[in-house]
Structure 1
């Protein structure tokens, strides 16, 4: 029994000494942190990691003299949006990290597709206004985690002010482009319920929705 315990302890020590954590921050060329960048490595022990809202990541890898890290991202949506396809919005980047390095900063460059997309988003935000409201089910209970998005945009609204998710109290707030009429879709992916409404003009600043 003592021998078995000793073996387990030695295995655990060996496992801990054979791996390390690498942390870092991913930004664009203007120094802005980039959210949701996939960080992977051939030496990764568990799985790939995604950067958080501050562009930070932490990945566990096997100890090597040189460790290859890969950073990439594709802008996508989980269902078709006006026939628009996902695209790579930052150039994929691979770097070799020395075994003594524990923290690194990485800069990614936008692709031409991303630059064009940003110009479309900027144009749509010019003169945009915000609406807010609360989302309920037919029993009058507040619905959290409902996706709210603006339809008919020339870009995928994910990660823009034209897409949001309701909070725990069912409250949402979303940007609306300055157009005569705008369609907004509310999607409860859990209960598979969806509703699209059309608003006209800036007079509609508060809209409560019931999903049935």
Structure 2
């Protein structure tokens, strides 16, 4: 079903003839590549998409700039999952350059953002995917999620942070992060593979004193 939805999104975006919409559809299409671990194809698609979109870049169009930076952020995560730390951090540097040029977290037409909050969240995620708990926790200190920020993104951030705390042996902070993730988006704990795997460990010692939703 997810693949079918992605194909229809790409089809509709191509009909629109909007380069940023096409880029956003390709960004979404990489969700399947991330889920299946086919990072090589995903990274190739994102790179080709950036090369296609770069012709539309200018500092007067912050929406397109945000989409371009969003492609770099997703490439950073995929590179980290593939084990390429240099490429991962390089993509985040490129996203930060988009932030400097004016990319915004509020991107209504395309719902794809790169700055500044989402960039900080992805930096934590990249550190986690690279297995660097200390770096993830250090970078998380710069993340301050405001009201109205997308709940799924906020929840996923706290799941990533829970994984970092768990690796450091800090089960209490790991649990606290999972509880925050649950407050933002309970389905992430139930259905996200990383959230569920993490939850099964830190909750063991605390479950009897916690409310039912997280224990389940």
Same fold (TM > 0.5) = no
Q: TM-score, normalised by structure 2?
A: 0.22
Larger Rg: 1
**Greater strand content:** 1
TM-score after normalising by structure 1:
0.23
